[in-house]
Structure 1
Amino acid sequence: MSLFSGASTTAASNAAAQAQGDCSQDVQLQSPPDDSISDLSFSSQSEHLAVASWDKKVRIYEIAGDGNSQGKAMYEHDAPVLSCVWSKDGTKLASGGADKQAKLYDISTGQSSQVAAHDAPVKCVRFIQAPQTNAEMLVTGSWDKKLKYWDLRTPNPVATLDMQERVYTLDVAQGLMVVGTAERYINIVNLSNPTVLFKTMQSPLKWQTRVITCFPDASGFAIGSIEGRCAIQYVDDKNSGMNFSFKCHRETPSSGPQNVFSVNAISFHPTFGTFSTAGSDGTFHFWDKDAKHRLKGYPSVGGTIPATAFNRNGTIFAYAVSYDWSKGHVGNNPAYPNKVMLHPIKEDEAKPRPPIKKR
């Protein structure tokens, strides 16, 4: 389905048929967490998937070529884990949690240790390359309204950036870091000068920011909100004419008002630069931002989707199916599904297609 009208009826019908995705070959991850899943992260060096969960644990799985999986390691926080990310070389895994700390797990030793602390839960963790030295550092974003940079060899942060509000989401690509906070603030940081905010803006979306993910080429970022919308934003002002937003993860019943769902996760394909959205409606979709159309839409998976990730070469798309707390405590129940699914990517699913010609 095109994001914009204008295609002929026949062409639109054909495009709609092509855009129907199939989940029947998806494989379930073995021995999933015991509670809601908060984050997924694939290593960029191997077929290992990290899964962060509200059961206070981070699990590492090895994924075989046929989609079969095996648990390889696990370590714990003192409270629910909210974020996890691999180091660039794949030798370490960082995680942040509601215990107000970030931990680092060393693959070679099998040991975890605390490497960062905040005055409130650590919502986001990412690795960055330090300016000048290119040494790998950890950046942590917290509900204490602070962003901290950590040299993992020392116990204190090397720098702190004050945010306007609680940090809800952050992402990094090359020299770009984008931070989304409460009250819809978005802070852009040029990592060649990481202690200064390069640009601050309000989200172009009218409701609370749920997720921000940087383009792989670092030219911009995608934003998802709780109101079933996604925005595409470019960093350079000269490209502002390319910014746009669109509706997604909405449901129109035969009668009554439209149902609107949160966009919980956005992941970019590492090769094609296309991206996925997943939401509280239990569906995920693949999009082409340059052609401004949807590539594939998939049926409901039977529960909300809180997190997604592509593997290093884009052949596997992992998505979690577990409660995302979008309806508060009353929405959770013991029968709610709690699993991670692995979707094998066929090239036509995520590869950009020529746009539909208008008549």
Structure 2
Amino acid sequence: MLTTLAIANYRSLRSLTLPLGRLNLITGANGSGKSNLYRALRLLAETAHGGVVNALAREGGLSSTLWAGPERITRRMQLGEVPIQGGPRQEPVALKLGFAGDDYGYAIDLGLPVPALTAFSADPEIKREAIWAGPFLRSSNALVDRHGAVAKVKDGRSWRVVAKHLNPFESMFTQLADPERAPEVLTMREMIRGWRFYDHFRSDRDAPARLPQLGTRTPVLSHDGSDLAAAWQTIREIGDRAALDQAVDDAFPGASVEVDISDGRFGLVFQQHGLLRPLCASELSDGTLRYLLWIAALHTPRPPSLMVLNEPETSLHPDLLPALARLIGQAATKSQLWVISHASRLIAALEDLPICNAIALEKELSQTRIIGQRELDEPAWHWPER
């Protein structure tokens, strides 16, 4: 489980360190930084897939994603005694992302490339990466240290160099994940690759979940929900079938869901009290179909270490939100969950759960901060120095 997330100089997240729990509820007004926080976490996940530089490019490049305000905001600026203005830069340009967990922590520092004869001079470079044991980085608990093109691993009380010519545009997860040379890198890479993000379930008329699909065993629902029926059948065979049926009845009392299989194609059928025939997926309302997608995603037989739900209330009737909160609470007993929401009824239901860690965001002078968090409330955190 992640215990701390730290972000510096990413869009409105000039400097943010969040304490995390088993179930994390991210709320805030429009424009407070919820989406930036979500995108920063997605960007952090891209390091393990070798795509962090490409992901930044899709967002407009490093110059577009960097904090656009002054390097330092003084007390007098906050009080309005002097205008918000920049000055001579004291520190190098750096976009930093990191987290600490129960076992290991990881941080990455991206910056501007050294001017050279290349057509890719706008690509950011990875300046530092570090993996450590414990809640925050110290010299005594560092396990892997990448500085530019050189990477070394802790070997007893000394360091052993394992690479001298790393590509500056690729994470060490891509170049060093070796069970013999750097087992900590491999462990961390596989853990991050297991993170699961759901933010784009389709429920429109042409949504793949509405159509029968060739079925294969599906312990993990796809990000767009196209394999819903196969995932449902997989849960019934190797997952918690009773919990699956209970989740349907909790949201739609008296209803049941079955999987129709014809010529290898799987499709859902929805039987509701009072109807003389079941409804196929193409006949379901957007809200009903989307809720069934959430049931399948949250009852996965292969729970990830981290699951992130971005605005799960989309297209749902408000009366379904208390049942969704119960569904999320049950899933949080098996995985660490992030829920980003602005639906007041879902927020209230989740906040009633004892395991809920509610984080409310706001903007002050265009930078995102946690409402009520004082300086001494922040978890201990140290970035690796360049």
Select the structure of larger CA radius of gyration.
Answer: 2
Greater relative contact order, per chain length (Cα 8 Å cut-off, separation 6+): 2
TM over 0.5: no
Higher share in helix: 2
Q: What TM-score comes out, normalization by structure 2 length?
A: 0.25
Higher share in strand: 1
